[in-house]
Structure 1
Amino acid sequence: MTCAAETIRDLPLAHGSLDRAAHRRREPGLLDALLSDPATRVLELVGGTVEVVGTDGELSLHQRPPVPADRHRLAVFLGQDDGGPAHVAVVGDPVDEGDPRSWRGLRQVATVLDDREAGMLATALALTNWHAAHTHCPRCGHATTPEQAGWVRRCGHDGSEHYPRTDVAVIMSVTDADDRLLLARGAEWPEGRFSVLAGFLEPGESLEAAVAREVREEVGLEVGDVTFLGNQPWPFPTSLMVGFTARAVGSAIELDGDELAEAFWVTREGLAERIADGRVLVSSRMSISHRLMERWYGQRLPTTGEWRPARS
């Protein structure tokens, strides 16, 4: 594996600047103290969304003082800069359908928030997703409870500690000898939604080996010249996307018949045409998949062909 001379440096979610202040997590009663302090800034998540304020072009996270109900909710200490307030994320109750506040998902606001707030929201979402999926001990099956300000869960039966997990995935823009880009549609994706290939790292595997294996498994191609381009936290639910380019040896595609519904090679002109007429919908510019495609394309992709989920 090599590293590109010019990596992708402006990936959303990848430049959070809040000091996580990890040394404070073991302080006894930290969350109780912070949630009793009106100076604490609370980021409330409801169904994976957060309240935002401002106009669509200049949105920011709404962070409020603590309320009494927060002390009975799942809470996570996000961090604290020197001399600044502490930041805590809480999982709130469902809101009424007529709630006048503006609630948005991370995909909707990642490219509008500043780096600090986007990183804060990504951390909060990844941690709360992990808590929701790990309520019981994998060793004995008994219930676990949060500790260390939300950064650990402990089993009440065997005392074992469990830490937040991050699932590492590789994502790669694969090109052929004619510098065409390989695009694919997942078997469960809607018609027209396409992206570059991706897959999870397996135990005992290097990143470059995962790139080669995933391409081989999904489209039957061998690749070389695997080059690292950048990485991005991806809290859907708890992943880290590690981006690469790779050069295919040959161009004959053999679909795996399981994970992919279709795949094809495309030129730059062909991609522009397919986006313009709606045959190809790509992920939003917040994602590393979009940036990998954009790097190959040589300029910003047309935005008329972006696929966006409704809320998250």
Structure 2
Amino acid sequence: MRRDERVFAYGGGWLDRAGALRTDAERMAALRADGRTTVLPLWRDRCLLDAADLPVRLAGDAAGPVLAAADETVFLGLDDTGAALFGADLTGHSEAEALALAGAVSTLDVRRLAGRLDPAAAAAQAYARGLLYWHRQQRWCGSCGAPTTARDGGHVRVCSGAGCGRLHFPRIEPAIIVLLVAPGAPDRCLLARHAGSAEGSYSTLAGFVEVGESLEDAVRREMAEEVGVTVTDLSYQGSQAWPFPAGLMVGFRARAASDEVQVDGVELLEARWFTRDELRARMAAGHPVGRIDSIDHHLLGGWLAEAA
């Protein structure tokens, strides 16, 4: 990672994912039994927290019962000391049983821990969450309906059906998220209120990339569909791992050809242009500018920091 590279929450590449080790079943077994190995237990996609409200990390004798009781375990990689990191899913147990196995006191979604975890810890927890969620959703082959079994450190599932044997790999769902700016003075950005959101709650525009579509095509289509705007001057701003359950958020800035907007009335209820002063006033009144752990926070923060 370059020194000047911006890293968003749940990313950064601190772990060596050690892909070449995954196919070595003997090495995987040895790492599971290694006293230096750390295990991150999860229950129904939630972190298991200790008395300090931090995610439990188990090693040595404490890790054994969790590994033995887990529905699935996944090899996440090696830390900077060469020690292995595994995720373990305790979803098949009751919450009380999971807490007892892990020596934890409560459970919480990793997104609720934003700002309290260091970047490496948040990235590891989200990585484990996304991979273990995929295992629970891929227990049956989509081609023949036969059960699938985990292989390669939990990064592949193999169909057990006679004559099938299809390999299933974790899928990523790319989405674009866009800071749309006005075509002329004064400087403004477009924010929208989504269906189901609270009155006065505005955010940037986003949408999933469709089959046969480039990222830039997705930006143009989503802006046209959601707010009736043709866009120009697209520029890539960065990407963010968003394994909730399997997203990859790709950030753009784009300029609208016109400041006339028309919401679809389904996904979006309203959209309006904001000046920097208006956004700062909202912040002062207690309305956050994007989620603290989301790339939209950086898209908006970067725009606010520019000279008006």
TM range (shorter): 0.7 to 0.9
Q: CA deviation at 1:63?
A: 3.3
State the match for 2:165 in structure 1. 159
Is the alpha carbon distance of 1:61 and 1:96 closer, same or farther for their aligned partners in structure 2, counting shifts above 3 Å?
A: closer
The Cα offsets for residues 271-297 of structure 1, whole Å up to 9 and x where unpaired, read as 23334445x554421110111111111
Q: CA deviation at 1:8?
A: 7.1
Instruction: Structure 2: give runs of 5+ residues left out of the alignment.
Output: none
State the match for 2:237 in structure 1. 229
Look up the SS of the partner of 1:215 in the other structure: helix
- Pair 1:77 & 2:75 matched: yes
Instruction: Structure 1: give runs of 5+ residues left out of the alignment.
Output: 1-6, 300-312
Paired with 2:5 and 2:16, the residues of 1 have a C-alpha distance of: 23
Q: CA deviation at 1:130?
A: 1.4
State the match for 1:40 in structure 2. 37
Contact 2:37 2:84 in 1 (8 A): yes
Counterpart residue identity of residue 265, structure 1: W
State the match for 1:3 in structure 2. none
Instruction: Provide TM-score, normalisation by structure 1.
Output: 0.84
Contact 2:22 2:152 in 1 (8 A): yes
Counterpart residue identity of residue 271, structure 2: A
Is the alpha carbon distance of 1:145 and 1:255 closer, same or farther for their aligned partners in structure 2, counting shifts above 3 Å?
A: same
State the match for 1:308 in structure 2. none
State the match for 1:138 in structure 2. 142
Q: CA deviation at 1:156?
A: 0.9
Mapping of residues 113-262 of structure 1, within 5 Å: 113-157=117-161, 158-176=164-182, 177-178=184-185, 179-262=187-270
Counterpart residue identity of residue 95, structure 1: E
Q: CA deviation at 1:160?
A: 0.4
State the match for 1:295 in structure 2. 302
Q: Percent identity?
A: 40
Paired with 1:17 and 1:287, the residues of 2 have a C-alpha distance of: 19
Paired with 2:192 and 2:254, the residues of 1 have a C-alpha distance of: 15
Look up the SS of the partner of 1:250 in the other structure: coil
State the match for 1:51 in structure 2. 48
Look up the SS of the partner of 2:301 in the other structure: helix
Alignment coverage as a number of residue pairs: 290
Instruction: Provide TM-score, normalisation by structure 2.
Output: 0.85
Paired with 1:205 and 1:173, the residues of 2 have a C-alpha distance of: 20
State the match for 1:305 in structure 2. none
Paired with 1:262 and 1:113, the residues of 2 have a C-alpha distance of: 35
State the match for 1:88 in structure 2. 86
Paired with 2:271 and 2:288, the residues of 1 have a C-alpha distance of: 14
Paired with 2:129 and 2:39, the residues of 1 have a C-alpha distance of: 14
- Write 1 or 2 for the structure with the bigger share of helix: 2
Q: Considering Cα pairs closer than 8 Å and 6+ residues apart, tell me whether 1 or 2 has the greater RCO.
A: 1
